[in-house]
Amino acid sequence: MTSYLIGLVGSGIGPSASPALHEREADELGLRYVYRLLDLDVLRRPVGDVVAAARLAGFDGLNVTHPAKQLVLEHLDELSSEAEALGAVNTVVFERGRAIGHNTDATGFARSLGRGLPDVRMDDVVLLGAGGAGAAVAHALLSLGAGRLTIHDVDRARGENLAEALNERFGEGRAEAGDLAAVENADGLVHATPTGMAAHPGSPVAAELLRPDLWVADIVYRPLETALLAAARARGCRVLNGGGMVVLQAAESFRLFTGVEPDPARMLRHFDALEGEAARAA
């Protein structure tokens, strides 16, 4: 039986659904697949040390999450064209002694948005967060035809740098750094920061800024119903939770790790079952 050893690198990743999501799909495909959490808060080591140790230990690959999607870049030997364009990595494949970085977040978000909110207007979209996940979401939105993207980040310079990179790739004037006031005239709002996660409760947007003709997407998936989505739903907005993105990016990561095509629809069913189990255990 072909076997794989995979890890997830990030901070506060104890609640992650990734181990069970990957392992259940591997079971369906007849693969031996062990998925381990490599929590930076627990290990108390920098991301470079963790990547080096995983390589020496014989891991076949790593998923990378907050806050390491950009920090990991300098510790890799090669980047895929997508990862290089995004300036962020969420998947590392160890291949013939080399660590190769990929990014499956952009396609995961694009497919989730197309699946969950297929007909929304995107003339003017606001993105909260310019980190690794935010960069992937930004590229996905502009690739899907968003007319103008306003990026708000607590680090204004980071938002400006992302906007500059996006304009170089997609054309001048497609992206700009801005503030939350842009939500008032936007068609859609996408949230791509850790706010709303179990370890970072709360909403990044005041409920008063939300209105029924605004659609709202959140990439946080634990919990699925974040404070932002609950407020948006109460205000009459169409909403999209982070479940679809986490599953669809995981499916592409699984393919990169194994060379075997997973079944995304089945993985979505795995996720629904896992969420039900988590709710019953709470």
Pairing of strands 78-79, 98-102: parallel
Catalytic residue among 69, 139, 158, 174: 69
Rounded distance between C-alpha atoms, residue 40 and residue 235, angstroms: 38
Active site residue 69: yes
To which H or E segment does residue 189 belong? strand 188-191
To which H or E segment does residue 24 belong? helix 18-28
> Where do we find the tokens 């003709």?
213
* Amino acid at position 68, single letter: A
| Alpha-carbon distance values, 188 to 122, 237, 254 (Å) | 7, 10, 30
Smallest Cα–Cα separation from 163: which of 133, 122, 134? 134
Please list the active-site residues: 69
